[in-house]
Structure 1
Amino acid sequence: MTALSALETDAAIVVEHVARREQPADGETVARLRAEFPRLHGLFRALYGDRATSLESLLTLIDAVLDARADRPAELRRLDRDRAARPTWFESERMLGGVCYVDRFAGDLDGVRKMIPYFRELGLTYLHLMPLFASPEGDNDGGYAVSDYRTVDPALGTMADLRALAADLRDAGISLVLDFIFNHTSNEHEWATRALAGDPVYENFYLIFPDRELPDAYERTTREIFPDDHPGSFVPLPDGRWIWATFYRFQWDLNYANPDVFTAMAREMLFLANQGVEILRMDAVAFIWKRLGTTCESQPEAHLLLQAFNAVLRIAAPAVLFKSEAIVHPDEVQDYISPDECQLSYNPLQMALTWEALATRDARLLQLALDERHELPPGTAWVNYVRSHDDIGWTFADEDAARFGIDGGPHRRFLNDFYIGRFAGSFSRGFPFQENPRTGDARIAGTTASLAGIAAGDDGGEDRVVLAHALAMSTGGIPLLYLGDEVAQLNDDTFQDDPARRGDSRWAHRPERPSERYEERRDESTVAGRVFTRLRHLIDVRRATTEFAGNELIPFHTPHAAVVGFIRPATDEHGGAVLVLANVADEPAAIPSETVSGLDESAWDLIRDSAVGLGRGLVLPAHAFVWLRVRRL
């Protein structure tokens, strides 16, 4: 049977199946199903073969999709239609994201609702709340070990509270973003407890082996992610079996080779979409498919699974977008970004290389990333950030570093030492995360202010904080603030006194909301006030600068290794172009007139709202930047 005849035959079966359903689908939904079915059918066959059981699984999935669409509230259906009319809404220069833990920043979901006036003051259009669902007591990887995707942690509120918050945020022009933690569940999830009890259906939801033969074979090619927690990729079960746990021992990887797992997780995803979540952060996308003899990262099937989840959303909740979290080789990061997979993606390379440039006072690796690794497909966007809830890993490509005579391994060790404060003259006060004495590997934890020098009292600390955010705000896509950084919050060292957290140094940069600093945010005699005022001004300028919409970026090179430069071109015939130059060095950089000779001598400084003459070049002070509206000759 040919692929076409298989599609035609299966489509006819689906039509008959849908017609027999007790609750008939509306015409709009049927049209969406017809449009997406060929793609979904092809993806299911590629993932699960052409056997009859695959069609049965696909029919079960379609029932789940149609049920979710029928349950979708009217206001979210209106959002679906609005977003269909404005498919690039997220590329606007007015977009600004914020991220926080509910309990650490606002106490509970009602506290978050009370913060909406502040979010509007700041200019947020996107709010990412860190994992807030039921999870094990004590250490739970900051909520990334989910025990129930449909139950909010009682300490934070209820699902009704979450729906109400989503509606209030939407009314305020703010999209709610939540994590979809779909690589694994906690070991307390109902599926996990039933698997442990020997239920054969749920045993097949995970990757469980009777002895070490296959785990040993897999671990010859997989890498350790959290060596402080356990070696390798597997942990023992009480009955002597072994289960795959890529991250922490209480996070058990799901078996996506089982189509029932895909359908079960699709139901959870659609449930979240119907609560009013507009963007789902797809956690740990690189790890969702396993293949013996490989790293079990970024396998082709991982992309097929994301495309299949995407197709499901296009039928049942088409307003919802995916944001990829892929901390892998830079070449692999971009593989996950497309309108058919993840429309948004973190930009870990730019984040890491911003910190690399500040430590080395050399922007060449960052410039190279903007030159060669920034472009994205139409209909997609980067999420640019200075730091997140997670650690900072040095994700640059060794082959890129080699072009500048840099050996990647020793350079990463230098960066770790620098940001931990072990390197003489370092301005940083960070912590090592998952430091592996055997390999020398480590990552870095710390708030922006602590890593940039404010905690150490370094004179350049405030400028570095603002410079890093200015780059995130001007390179394209959606800039993302870790809430608290806008008032220069410092590390919380007390995590070391908490038995549930002392083993995870990332809690240093997840402090409780620094109320006293927020109270100082309008007082420019304070660090918090100066940083807030400067960042708030950048946000205002960005919102008024149409050239900052979208992702397009044209490299602009200068003679200085410490200066990164690019042009953001006009998005329509009415705009100009904006030249961005940033100096990561501790001393001024003079940009000669020859470098800017391709630009009209008259420019406009968007930050200072004043005219600038380029005829004699310009001078960038230490840790300074400019956003200049220019006209290219």
Structure 2
Amino acid sequence: MNQASLHHLLALKFDETKSPEDLFALRLATNLTLVKEGFFSLYQEERHKAYFTRLIDLLPRLFSDRPTELKFQDLVRVRQQGNWYQSEKMVGMQLYTNHFNKDLKGLRDKLPYFEELGVNFLHLMPITTRPKEENDGGYAVNSYHEIDKKFGTKNDLEKLTQELRSRKMFLMLDFVVNHTSNEYPWAKKAIAGSKKYRSYYFTYPDRDIPDAFEETLPEVFPQTSPGNFTYNKKMKRWVMTVFNDYQWDLNYSNPEVFLEMLTNLVKLINLGVDVVRFDALAFLWKKIRTTSQNLPEAHMLISLFRMCLQIIAPGTVLLAEAIVAPTEIIKYFGEESRKGNECEMAYNASLMALLWNSIATKKTNLLQKSLQEIPKKPDTATWINYIRCHDDIGLGFDDAHIYDIGWDAKEHRKFLLDYYCQVLPWSPAKGLVFMYNPKNGDGRITGSAASLLGLEKGIMENNEKLIKAAIDKIVMMHGIVFSYGGIPMIYAGDEIGMLNDYSFLEDPNKKHDSRWVNRPQQDWETIAALQGKKGHSSEIFFRLQKMIALRKKLSVFADSNNFVLHAAPNQHLLTFERNAIEDKSVLVLSNFDENPQTLSNDWLQSIGFFALEGVKDIISNKKIKTASKGITLQPYELLWLQKL
């Protein structure tokens, strides 16, 4: 029996007369065998048995620390029909708290803004303590649950989460599960000479083992942090630092690290967190002569975290931040015996990158080829769909898919970098290159959605045609993720078409990281004038607002694995369907070309979507006749079609 089945069993056994403590005991008893199997699949030595005993003693202590209100919230979510995170009413926004409105108090003041747009799920970028200098935007952590004073206090966060619950809104925070900063208490103790805390990391007195690792480890940040080890002069040892020299990778082959990190995780969620974003989870297990990414042990470790969390706080879910190949991403929902037993959510990074590929090429052939070969996800899982986030746009497409459609993989990636990063003078995009690696020609793309889609260039050149095309692209891409299966996530500022922010070049701690170009301060002056002012910001905001409201009215947009990709004969178009039981099905059409494109009635009939009386675009609420040549989409037009 997998974890999803157990979760359903617990829901059936739920008895309103039982206390949260009674139901914790039931969950512990029901899950104990799975926890034991998961633990000893990772920690097989005789000496590890004592750590399992410690884990079993730890679980009730962690549960007892959970606030009563959250314990009852867990019970409500367990007994609900369906999973709350798969609802059509879920719409998210990712933001930097201090960039959005100063601090946690300022963010709380702006909750009506989210409600006006239709957003009810917030992802706050890291708000815990971090080094004062370079800290990777907070992903170099000094604490997992103490709030950095520039954002406020722990009390401010708890007040925010209470307010979110009262408004039926949800919160996601990061858990930097792969590494700590070099200022974290464990790292400081390791530097001071503690053998115990040195064993929490990968530290070596010479280069023998580091060199063996380096033979197969790729470089994440080749420009700013080449290699995967940093020499610590005070400790006189080499430390594994896969991301940056100030981020020390945790050694999960030591079971004490797992116990400590589970404790940190529960302390974080007890602040009122609904979704935990497991950062860099693909890197969790390290092994010589491998890439130390996506290893089976990493999956087993994630499953163990999940099983323990289901015992302590079953209303909280995990999101996989695994920006890896499409066939690897799907595995973070759980494989084989662990199917549905790892993360309940995962970033649909492949969809994001493929959409940007289609914008540049004006074709959907690579998009369709790649999506067709992604295995079906578990019914209990869902995607986070997005077009931009705080990070870069990677080009991790499957080379075989690129060659299959007749393109050279290396040359195609070079074209995409040139298109988006201001090498091709005819391109409308105003992006920057991130972490270019001259060894293999690999690079990534940064820039705000609006600037990458031509709005910045259009405004600079006072080119109305370019501005209109950019607005239509922004709306089309958001409309795709609003209607694709999963939770749509808007990046703060994209809802008003904010442009690149080049001020990072003046900050010595940021100027080497071009991702800061797409991390602007929220423009509240523009937002205050949305109602009474015409222009690109108002048009984008109100068009997105309309689609969000429509999404929330239609149960067909709930994620019940009811997504069907249709391979349209016109390669400029993306076509997919959301099948419905109660509502009418919705056919989503989008045109990635700068010219009108048509779908014939014969093709519509072949997929069962032809109707003599016509169909209706529910976004514009206009009837479209199918009795003539077919359906024609204007440049960058998006349609949500239902039969009349």
- The DSSP-based 3-state class of the residue aligned with 1:95 is coil
Q: Select between 357-366 and 547-556 the one with higher mean Cα deviation.
A: 547-556
Q: How does 1:124-203 map to 2 (within 5 A)?
A: 124-203=119-198
Partner of 1:381: 382
For 2:626, which of 593, 606, 614 is the aligned residue? 614
The AA in structure 2 aligned to 1:593 is N
CA distance in 2, matches of 1:520, 1:440: 44
Any conservation in 2 of the 1:348–1:395 contact (CA below 8 Å)? no
Question: Does residue 255 of structure 2 align to residue 254 of structure 1?
Answer: no
- The residue type equivalent to 1:609 in the other structure is N
Partner of 1:7: none
Q: Please name the residue that 2:604 is paired with.
A: 596
Tell me whether 1:223 sits opposite 2:242 in the alignment.
no
Partners of 2:58 and 2:141 in 1: CA distance: 21
2:307 pairs with 1:303:
no
Q: Residues 20 and 72 of structure 2 are in contact (CA less than 8 Å); yes or no, is this contact kept in structure 1?
A: no
1:277 aligns with 2:273: yes
Match of 1:115 in 2: 110
Give 1:50 shift.
Answer: 4.9
Distance in 1, Cα, partners of 2:224 & 2:503: 21
Match of 2:587 in 1: 579
* Local SS of the residue matching 2:146: strand
SS in 2 for 1:395: coil
Partner of 2:434: 433
User: In the aligned structure 2, how far is the partner of 1:630 from the partner of 1:197?
Assistant: 70
1:443 aligns to 2:444 (yes or no): yes
The one-letter amino acid of 1:582's match is: S
2:72 is the alignment partner of 1:78: yes
- How far did 1:123 drift? 1.3
Which runs of 5 or more residues in structure 1 are unaligned?
A: 1-23
Query: Any unmatched runs of 5+ in structure 2?
Result: 1-18, 335-339, 459-465
CA distance in 2, matches of 1:343, 1:225: 26
Match of 1:211 among 201, 206, 209: 206
1: CA distance between counterparts of 2:532 and 2:585?
Answer: 34
Match of 1:497 among 502, 506, 511: 506
Partner deviation per Cα, 1:374-402 (whole Å, 9 max, x = no partner):
73111000100001111100122111112
Choose from 12, 24, 27 the match for 2:22: 27
Match of 2:476 in 1: 467
Aligned equivalent of 1:332: 328
Whether contact under 8 Å (2:346, 2:383) holds in the other structure is yes
Q: Does 1:511 align with 2:554?
A: no
Deviation at 1:438, TM superposition (A): 3.2
- Per the alignment, residue 625 of structure 1 pairs with 638
Is the counterpart of residue 369 in structure 1 residue 374 in structure 2? no
SS of the equivalent of 2:301 reads: helix
State the Cα distance separating 1:606 from its structure 2 match: 0.6
Amino acid at match of 1:625: L
State the shift of 1:524 in Å.
Answer: 5.4
Distance in 1 of aligned mates of 2:333 and 2:530:
37
Once the 2 structures are TM-superposed, how far is the Cα of residue 540 of structure 1 from its aligned partner?
A: 1.1
What is the DSSP-based 3-state SS (H/G/I as helix, E as strand, rest coil) of the residue aligned with 1:532? helix
User: Does residue 1:394 correspond to 2:395, yes or no?
Assistant: yes
1:473-501 CA-to-partner distances (Å, cap 9, x unmatched) read 11110000001100001110010011110
Within 2, Cα distance between the matches of 1:555 and 1:273? Answer: 36
Q: Distance in 1 between matches of 2:315 and 2:490?
A: 23
How far apart are 1:59 and its partner, in Å? 2.1
Give the distance between the partners of 1:95 and 1:374, measured in 2 at CA.
24
Please say which of residues 496-505 and 451-460 is displaced more in the overlay. 451-460
Offset of residue 317 of structure 1: 0.7
**Which deviates further from its counterpart, 291-300 or 54-63?**
54-63
Provide the C-alpha distance between the structure 1 equivalents of 2:370 and 2:343, rounded to a whole number of angstroms: 21
Q: Which amino acid aligns with 1:527?
A: H
Q: Which residue type is aligned with residue 68 of structure 1?
A: L
Structure 2 vs 1, CA of residues 524 and 614 (structure 1 numbering), >3 Å: closer, same or farther?
A: farther
1:176-217 per-residue CA deviation (whole Å, 9 max, x = no partner) reads 100010100000000000011110110000000111111111
SS at structure 1 position matched to 2:48: helix
Match of 1:233 among 220, 225, 228: 228
CA contact (8 A) 1:235 1:245 kept: yes
Match of 1:541 among 542, 546, 550: 550
Matched, 1:66 2:67: no
Equivalent residues of 1:375, 1:552 under 8 A apart: no
Matches of 1:395 and 1:537, distance apart in 2: 33
1:101 and 2:96 matched? yes
| Aligned mates of 1:122, 1:361 — CA distance in 2 | 30
1:320 to 316, 321, 324: 316
Q: Distance in 2 between matches of 1:266 and 1:500?
A: 32
Provide the C-alpha distance between the structure 2 equivalents of 1:269 and 1:79, rounded to a whole number of angstroms.
Answer: 18
Shift of 1:229: 2.1
Moved more, 225-234 or 461-470: 225-234
Q: Which amino acid aligns with 2:174?
A: D
The match for 2:12 is: none
> 1:446 offset after TM fit, Å?
0.7
Q: Is the 8 A contact 1:65 1:267 kept in 2?
A: no
How far did 1:530 drift?
0.6
Q: Does structure 2 retain, via aligned residues, the 8 Å contact 1:44–1:54?
A: no
The amino acid across from 2:432 in the alignment is F
CA offsets per residue over residues 416-449 of structure 1, 9 Å max, x none? 1111111231111011111223332211111110
Q: Which amino acid aligns with 1:324?
A: A
Query: In the TM superposition, what is the alpha-carbon distance from 1:61 to its structure 2 partner?
Result: 2.0
Query: For the residues of structure 2 that align with 1:613 and 1:63, how far apart are their CA atoms?
Result: 67
Change (3 A) 1:519 1:326: same
Structure 1 stretches of at least 4 aligned residues deviating more than 6 Å after TM superposition:
none
CA distance in 1, matches of 2:67, 2:643: 47
Deviation at 1:349, TM superposition (A): 0.5
**How far apart, CA to CA, are the structure 1 residues paired with 2:209 and 2:474?**
48
1:216-275 CA-to-partner distances (Å, cap 9, x unmatched) read: 111110100011222211111114311001101100000000000000000000011111
Shift, 1:559, TM fit? 2.3
1:590 partner amino acid: T
Alpha-carbon distance in structure 1 between the residues aligned to 2:602 and 2:568 = 10
- Give the superposition deviation at 1:366: 1.4
> Is residue 263 from structure 1 mapped to residue 276 from structure 2 by the alignment?
no
Distance 1:523 1:340 in 2: 50
Alpha carbons 2:162, 2:272 under 8 Å: kept: yes
Other structure's SS at 2:93 match: strand
Report the secondary structure of 2:149's partner residue. coil
Alignment correspondent of 2:337: none
Q: State the AA in 1 paired with 2:342.
A: E
> Of 36, 42, 49, which aligns to 1:47?
42
| Secondary structure of the structure 1 residue equivalent to 2:442 | coil
Q: Which position in structure 2 is the counterpart of 1:18? A: none
Count of residues in Structure 1 that have an aligned counterpart in Structure 2: 605
Matched AA of 2:77: R
- Read off the aligned partner of 1:32 and give its amino acid letter: R
Looking at structure 2, the residues matched to 630 and 299 of structure 1 have their Cα atoms a distance apart, in angstroms, of 46
Q: Distance in 2 between matches of 1:203 and 1:627?
A: 56
Other-structure match for 1:57: 51
Report sequence identity in percent: 38
Contact between 1:428 and 1:450, CA under 8 Å: does it hold in 2? yes
